[in-house]
Amino acid sequence: MASSEDRSLAVIPIRDFRLFCIHKRLKAKDPTLLVSPDADASQAVRAQLRLRELILAGELKSGARIAELAIVELLGMSRTPIRAALMRLEQEGLLDKLPNGGYAVRTFSERDITDAIEVRGMIEGLAARVAAQRGVADAMLAQARAVLDEVDRLLAQPRLNDAAFSRYVDLNKRFHELLRDMSASVVIAREVDRIVALPFASPSAFVLVQATSTTSRDMLVVAQDQHRQVLEAIDQREGARAEAIMREHSRLAQRNLREALERRKLDRVRGSGLMRCPC
């Protein structure tokens, strides 16, 4: 005899079998996901996070049309929060709005990615310059130095395994977040968050590509030296220098991108299925 869960799922008019399978996996991972919270705003955030995860994980493929009603059925939410979530993901750059209605998962070219990395370098450079000009509390500088000290200990290991690279990614993310916060600007912080939300624009997007590269340690040592230099420039109130260092720092990510393309290592990059590979 069918369970009550199976009977309830049977009446959900999911016409696409792939969406039905995703629906089952979602509920298995998070049973509360299909229980609607009271506030539409809370639902919209949950829908946005879940859809972003499905896109980056490759469950919703590059170029795939995303119909609003299909997502309503998939997540078990009303149309209002789903509509808000789709609009936010379009604003983030993960979806394209179609002329005749609905959305499609965006496909990124190599130029799109290099442009996004360049913009991140510009905005983080601005954050560093503003931080240097306005001054940063000693406590925040100490937090950043503590993060870099831990990176130094990682790089002192004779060999970096996957766990070490994963820890580096976490520490690198934390340092860049502190750098963003040093600007003490809500506007700058919002723009930084917007650009790093793109799958290939975050500071650590291509770090794991280096895990099997003979130049991995050299690249991480260079990045760490730039981190130290920008922190010193901010502490000494050298705004132009701090900005220039962060602009140059972003070019390491562009170099990592080129290496990923040349070595066919995009599978280690989160969201790589969204990229249109020129090779």
Cα 49-163-53 angle, rounded to 5 deg: 15
Per CATH, the architecture of 4-105 is what?
Answer: Orthogonal Bundle (1.10)
Question: Which helix (DSSP H) or strand (DSSP E) does residue 242 occupy?
Answer: helix 239-262
pLDDT value of residue 238: 98
Q: The pTM is what?
A: 0.71
Instruction: Work out whether the CA dihedral 103, 105, 107, 108 comes out positive or negative.
Output: positive
Same topology between domain 4-105 and domain 110-274: no
Pairing assessment for the beta strands 65-66 and 103-105 based on DSSP bridges: antiparallel
pLDDT tens for each residue of 73-132: 888 888 899 999 999 888 888 899 999 888 999 888 888 888 989 999 999 999 999 999
Average pLDDT over the chain reads 81
Instruction: Say if residue 207's pLDDT is above 70.
Output: no
Judge: domain 110-274, CATH 1.20.120.530.
yes
Question: Which helix (DSSP H) or strand (DSSP E) does residue 188 occupy?
Answer: helix 186-196
User: CA distances (Å), 55 to each of 101, 104, 107, 123, 271, in order?
Assistant: 19, 11, 11, 25, 7
Q: At what angle do helices 186-196 and 110-134 cross, to 10 degrees?
A: 160
For the chain, domain boundaries: 4-105, 110-274
